[in-house]
A and B are shown apart, each in its own frame.
With several copies, the nearest count.
Chain A
Amino acid sequence: MNKLINHPDDMVKEMLEGYLSIYPNQFERVPNTIGLMKKNKSEQVSIVVGGGAGNEPWIMGYVGEGLATGAALGNVYTAPPSRAILNVTHAVTNSKGVLYICTNHMGDVLNFELVRELAELDGIESRCVFVTDDISTASLEQKAERRGVAGIALVVKVAGAACDFGLSLEEVVRIANKAKENTNTFSVTTSAGYMPGSGRAMFEMPEGEIEYGMGFNGEPGILHTKLGSADEIAETLMKYLLNDMKLTKTDEIAVMINGFGFTSLLELCIIGRKVKQIINTNKIQTHDIFIDQLFCPQGTGGLSITIMKLDSELKKYYDAPAYSPFFNKIAIGE
């Protein structure tokens, strides 16, 4: 498929340059690094995120008010080098400590763990939270082994608010971990995405078939079916999620319906209609539900549903407004 880039080697750098040139008052470049940070600095715990580009707005668009303080971008689907993350760490306010949040992929984990050691050597207190929301990648007992996907949007949002409230690093980490433990995602892929560098499909997906729990690079999922109706798809997604989370009537949740890029808002709203019906039927309390495209693997067909179980503490931080040019969450609640 036709992709609009100049040269594969430059695309992440140029994406960042474009973003910064369009929003120069809000963000600045981290020197010598494919990374950015908020211009508006304040004396509080900073959140640094990072990962491979290619799922925009994730990473670059997650730096903002009530969100992350800075970010390091790797090449498409490749974790950023530790050096880049360390440079961001040094560039942001770090006197109150730094919380690293990334998805639980080997490359990210290895780099962030290494950076944490290096930051400590440089006298910067830091912690890592690896988001593990994808229920299809390991059993509930092995939640720590699950990979991280769109749920990181909600974890960063909650943790970002906790930083803004002036909490200590330990407290922010505790809340981020609580958010992470309560966040689960399940997805369906309906057509392949395309590598921006080559325009090549990332995997093969026969027309009329779909796969649940598939990875963005075509890693096999856990259920392959014929394309069903939107209602059937919503039912399958919710069945797995409700099963995994064992939600009851006393539970209060936030729900994010996240489109993968190719799938349109028209389709996402039709899915959302059924999701809301299922939640109502199960009499689970919906604190908030919304539709957005916050974790989009390059023109892929499909969507994910993320559910975060809330307690009063998480709700407090969840409710704080978040804002970046590509991550807008101002109004909360039904």
Chain B
Amino acid sequence: MKNSMNAEQLKNMFLSVAQKIVDSEDFLTEIDIKIGDGDHGIGMSVGFRNVLKELPKCQFTGAEDVFKMVGTILLDTMGGASGVLFGTMFISGIIKRPVSEEMKLSDFAEVFRKSLNALQQRGKAHIGDKTMIDAFEPAVIGLEESVCNGLSLVDGLNVAAIKAKEGMEYTKQVVAKFGRAKSYGEKAIGLQDAGATSVWIIFQEIADWSTGNLS
């Protein structure tokens, strides 16, 4: 059992994540139609379809480069709020980091904490605003706690996925403070946020891929 990932593994993992998002297009669309404008599924799937197309062509020297490439592809091709937000999720965490050959659980925790901070600076959303932050922040905390508790990479990533899912479920209980969903007020109760759902799908596939390929 491997307790870190190299660039090649990260690449394969993100290809697997990309495929999962592309497969979830309709599911995400349905969610965004109910309290958004219904384009979240298309946007995510456009972005990650480009990841599926471009990523295999790339040669990476360091683990950070994989994050950067995934983020840049999303940023350049998706558009919408989520283009910036999901671009930021992958790019901002590795800025100014020295290039590393392997990423350990603590690296995942550091990278995603940094991108969470950048995301909140951009989007100004907090827990309870019914955004992707509601899934992302718990996932990051889950990673950090797993590091403290000395969990393995695979176990830590699985904790993150569980926390992301809880966060996604939690978005059903709150009203939105941002974007189109805001105008729905109390009517948004019971409905889950599309961006938070995507965050969960991403962390879930990261965990599943790791469980399958590193255990």
B-binding residues in A (CB < 8 A): 52, 74-84, 105-107, 110-111, 113-114, 137, 195, 215, 217, 219-221
Contact B42 A75 (CB under 8 A): yes
Contacts of B79 in A (CB 8 A): 52, 74-75, 78-81, 84, 107, 111
Query: Which of B37, B82, B83, B84 contacts A77, CB < 8 Å?
Result: B37
B interface residues, how many (CB within 8 angstroms): 28
How far is A113 from B123 in the complex, measured between Cα atoms in Å?
11
Q: Does B3 contact A (CB under 8 A)?
A: no
Contact A81 B77 (CB under 8 A): yes
Query: Which of A79, A215, A220 contacts B80, CB < 8 Å?
Result: A79
> How far does the Cβ of B40 sit from chain A's closest Cβ, in whole Å?
9
Q: Does B183 contact A (CB under 8 A)?
A: yes
How far is A43 from B125 in the complex, measured between Cα atoms in Å?
40
Contact B39 A220 (CB under 8 A): no
Contacts of B187 in A (CB 8 A): 220
Q: Does B196 contact A (CB under 8 A)?
A: no
Closest to A51 in B: B79
Contacts of A77 in B (CB 8 A): 37, 39
How far is A163 from B184 in the complex, measured between Cα atoms in Å?
39
Query: Which of B36, B76, B83 contacts A79, CB < 8 Å?
Result: B83
Q: Does B70 contact A (CB under 8 A)?
A: no
Contacts of A219 in B (CB 8 A): 180, 183-184
Q: Can you name 24 A-B residue pairings with CB atoms under 8 Å?
A: A52-B79, A75-B39, A75-B42, A75-B43, A75-B79, A78-B43, A81-B77, A81-B78, A82-B75, A82-B87, A83-B77, A105-B179, A105-B180, A107-B81, A107-B82, A110-B122, A110-B123, A111-B83, A137-B183, A215-B183, A219-B180, A219-B183, A220-B184, A220-B187
How far is A298 from B173 in the complex, measured between Cα atoms in Å?
33
How far is A219 from B33 in the complex, measured between Cα atoms in Å?
10
How far is A221 from B185 in the complex, measured between Cα atoms in Å?
11
How far is A66 from B10 in the complex, measured between Cα atoms in Å?
50
How far is A137 from B181 in the complex, measured between Cα atoms in Å?
12
Known contacts A78-B39, A82-B84; 6 further A-B pairs (Cβ under 8 A) = A78-B80, A81-B83, A83-B77, A110-B85, A111-B83, A220-B183
Contact B76 A83 (CB under 8 A): yes
Q: Does B27 contact A (CB under 8 A)?
A: no
Interface centre among A78, A217, A219, A220 (most CB of B within 10 A): A78
Q: Which of B67-100 contact A (CB under 8 A)?
A: 75-85, 87
How far is A275 from B170 in the complex, measured between Cα atoms in Å?
47
> How far does the Cβ of B167 sit from chain A's closest Cβ, in whole Å?
19
Q: Which of B165-211 contact A (CB under 8 A)?
A: 178-180, 183-185, 187
How far is A238 from B77 in the complex, measured between Cα atoms in Å?
36
Contact B84 A74 (CB under 8 A): no
Closest to B85 in A: A110
Q: Does B128 contact A (CB under 8 A)?
A: no
Closest to A137 in B: B183
Known: A106-B178, A113-B122. A81 touches B38 (CB 8 A): no
Contacts of B178 in A (CB 8 A): 106
Known: A110-B85, A114-B122. A215 touches B180 (CB 8 A): yes
> How far does the Cβ of B200 sit from chain A's closest Cβ, in whole Å?
20
Contacts of B87 in A (CB 8 A): 82
